Amino acid sequence: MNFYDDLSANGDRPVCITDDGASTSYAALAAMADALGSQVQPRSVVFCLCDNNLPSLAGYLGLLRRRAVPVLLSATLHPTALAQLLDDYRPAYLWLPQARADTVTGTPLHRQDGYLLLQTAHAPYELHPALALLMTTSGSTGSPRLVRQSYRNLDSNATAIGQYLGIRQADRPITTLPMSYTYGLSILNSHLLQGCTILLSARTLMEKGFWDLLKSQHATTFGGVPYVYEMLRRLRFQRMDLPSLAYLTQAGGRLAPELSREFAALCREKGMRYFTMYGQTEATARMAYLPSEQAEAKAGSIGVAIPGGEFWLEDEHGQRIAGSDAVGELVYRGDNVALGYASSHADLARGDDNAGVLRTGDLARRDADGYYYVVGRKKRFLKVYGNRVNLDELDQLVAEIGYACVCAGEDDQVRIYTTDREHHAAIKQHVVTRTGLPPSGFHVIFIEQIPRNDAGKILYSALP
């Protein structure tokens, strides 16, 4: 059983409720999906410019059911970026908002709720039979390459997530993340598998309509990246009366341990469960979770491998690290590890480059109880006068004294970008004091806001 082929098994149960309160059944969604799917050739590539709405969901599922290969992209993708991807991947079709149809060339084939299917003039090309879906990477570094995910990847990860979260058919998640983002999509996949009703909202947490939908439709859960939890704190989530909520999930980056502990305690007080999770697009979505009963005691930990997965640590020579508290690269094995990357359409005939093993690029340690803690990225290191500096740790040092920042730069010149206008000397002094490194190695720069993508993750490539 999977979440796309077996939609009709849930019949007249509502599959989603949108911002306007409209309800759609599983059977109706299957019919909408197949109406689109019938217009495309199997094993063709289809660009989907999607948002959290019904036609985007129907298009995604219809293409999976047809065994075409969707490429999920943000509906707000910049025209220049879209043009580059079109040139690189030469899709046979585009499924996009009708308002964007004048920015591309194609023959109209099908319309549905403000969306349009266009057929391009590109000739067909070979796709690997296991290839199911193409997703962008997190976008943190602005990389245009895509991740090749298989049907086995999608099915195994949706099943594992449902298992460790204990998802029930009665659960009603509300969307807080775009479906073009791997975490947002995993929420849809895992709940569709269980026959749940999804509150499909395109609104943000800052809009009253989001909270009206959550309350009126009795949402039981939502997920968020660290930026979402920072917003929840500013919105005074602790004062909100939301009796239907049963659990919250957090992934998409490291949440400061003190904030994670704060939300874990808050959820306990409210009778809710709180799960910290860890994943990458290269592993379809999730690789680890922290059981809710450990959320406070192990705050800051990504937890343990998901059902069916396995973690270990490797040193710089590729040897496994035994014991606890030593730092090494985090390596994962599981059926959800993607086939590999693609840089153009020529890569889409490739097979499984990873063989089920992913070297995450994250540095981690394992405690005596077997719980893992990510301590930094292999590529988020610089050398300052011969001393290795972890930029993630610098971000956290500045956050300790109450200033929002993000660090980047080159060897011997760390740039500390902050949204604070006035306290640059204090920020620099704190970093110098804590690191013991010369002041000349650090430069504090004011920026109006920290650049982020649609999912709230930092866009390092957009820093000045």
Over residues 123-138, the mean pLDDT reads 92
Q: How far is the C-alpha of 281 from the C-alpha of 448, rounded, in Å?
A: 29
Q: How far is the C-alpha of 278 from the C-alpha of 411, rounded, in Å?
A: 29
pTM of the model: 0.88
Spell out the residues 6+ positions from residue 130 whose beta carbon is closer than 8 angstroms to its own: 150, 151, 152, 339, 351, 352
pLDDT level of residue 227 (50, 70, 90 thresholds): confident
pLDDT level of residue 268 (50, 70, 90 thresholds): very high
Joined tokens for residue 263: 């939300």
Q: What length does the chain have?
A: 464
CB-CB contact of 355 with 334 (8 Å): no
Q: What is the dihedral of CA 394, 398, 404, 405, to 10 degrees?
A: -30
Joined tokens for residue 329: 């690269």
Asked whether residue 142 carries a pLDDT value surpassing 50, the answer given is: no
Give the residue from 260, 342, 268 showing the smallest Cα distance to 299: 260
pLDDT level of residue 44 (50, 70, 90 thresholds): very high
Joined tokens for residue 277: 């999770």
Over residues 133-149, the mean pLDDT reads 74
Give the residue from 227, 196, 201 showing the smallest Cα distance to 214: 201
Q: What is the dihedral of CA 266, 268, 272, 274, to 10 degrees?
A: 80
CA angle 332, 252, 270 (to 5 degrees): 110
Spell out the residues 6+ positions from residue 1 whose beta carbon is closer than 8 angstroms to its own: 193
In terms of DSSP bridges, do strands 115-119 and 107-112 run parallel, antiparallel, or are they unpaired?
Answer: antiparallel
Cβ–Cβ contacts within 10 Å for residue 195, how many?
20
Q: What is the residue whose two structure tokens read 């005691």?
A: 297
Q: How far is the C-alpha of 191 from the C-alpha of 231, rounded, in Å?
A: 25
DSSP for residue 380:
S
CB-CB contact of 417 with 405 (8 Å): yes
Lowest mean pLDDT among 364-368, 386-390, 429-433, 438-442: 386-390
Distances in whole angstroms, Cα of residue 373 to Cα of each of 289, 290, 298, 358, 458:
11, 10, 9, 17, 21
Q: Identify the helix (H) or strand (E) that includes residue 265.
A: helix 257-269
Q: Is 404 left (phi over 0), alpha (psi -120 to 50) or beta?
A: beta
CA angle 28, 34, 38 (to 5 degrees): 155
299 three-class SS: coil
CB-CB contact of 289 with 303 (8 Å): yes
CB-CB contact of 259 with 234 (8 Å): no
Distances in whole angstroms, Cα of residue 187 to Cα of each of 16, 79, 201, 229:
13, 28, 13, 17
Joined tokens for residue 39: 């217009």
Phi, psi (5° rounding) for residue 40? -115, 155
Which tens digits make up the pLDDT trace of 288-316?
999 999 999 999 999 999 999 999 999 98
pLDDT given for residue 143 in this prediction: 46
Q: Identify the helix (H) or strand (E) that includes residue 263.
A: helix 257-269
pLDDT level of residue 144 (50, 70, 90 thresholds): low
CB-CB contact of 345 with 45 (8 Å): yes
pLDDT given for residue 140 in this prediction: 40
Joined tokens for residue 273: 């469960």
Share of the chain above pLDDT 70, in %: 98
Which tens digits make up the pLDDT trace of 61-86?
999 999 999 999 999 887 888 998 99
404 three-class SS: coil
23 three-class SS: strand
In the chain the domains, ranked by start, together with CATH numbers, are 7-372 (3.40.50.12780), 380-462 (3.30.300.30)
Asked whether residue 103 carries a pLDDT value surpassing 90, the answer given is: no
